[in-house]
Amino acid sequence: MGALRHMLSRGLELLALAMALLAAVAMVGIVGIITTSVIMRRFFNSPVHITEDMVGLMLSAMLFLALPLVTLRAEHVRVSIVADALQSRIPRLLRIAAMLVGVLFFGWILLESIPWFEFAWKRILKSETARVLLYPWMAALPLSVAVTWVIFAGRLLGLLAPERPHAPEELQ
């Protein structure tokens, strides 16, 4: 069981890191295309025509591709008023409830995102302005949600170590 936990944890970490690297590349791409478009508009009165489409696609992909690593490391934004108030009384029950909500939510989103992705794939959908294929960008959602679901399910089943959120004093 220990070897399985280690392999799953390490595999998920490497996959989440690779996805986060792609998110960082998308972030650099956003800055690059906006900078290029501004320079082109200012000096040549001709902005890059694909800017809006590409920035929107890269932003969406970036947000979803970063989600698994943030979830794995428990570094997401938290609203912790209720959790802090109940922490000393029922910490284990609260963690289980949070993991169940994560499993249900990300499972539901995964089930909804697969037909959505297939629709774009089968019809070879493209963006209106730049005519950029949409399905490669849309693949970020089901992939990201599936990996995040595995993280929540792994924690719920005890296959991954429980998340340890940072205490406020650790963040300073």
Q: Write down the pTM of the prediction.
A: 0.85
Q: What is the Cα–Cα distance from 135 to 118, expressed in whole angstroms?
A: 8
Q: Are the C-beta atoms of residues 156 and 99 closer than 8 Å to each other?
A: yes
Locate 137 and state its tokens: 């960008």
Alpha-carbon distance values, 38 to 32, 127, 131, 162 (Å): 10, 21, 21, 46
Burial of 42 (0-12, 13-18, 19+ CB in 10 A): exposed
Q: pLDDT tens per residue, the chain (172 residues)? A: 788 888 999 999 999 999 999 999 999 999 999 999 999 999 999 989 899 999 999 999 999 999 999 999 988 776 677 667 766 667 778 788 889 999 999 999 999 999 999 999 999 999 988 899 999 999 999 999 999 999 999 999 988 887 765 555 554 4
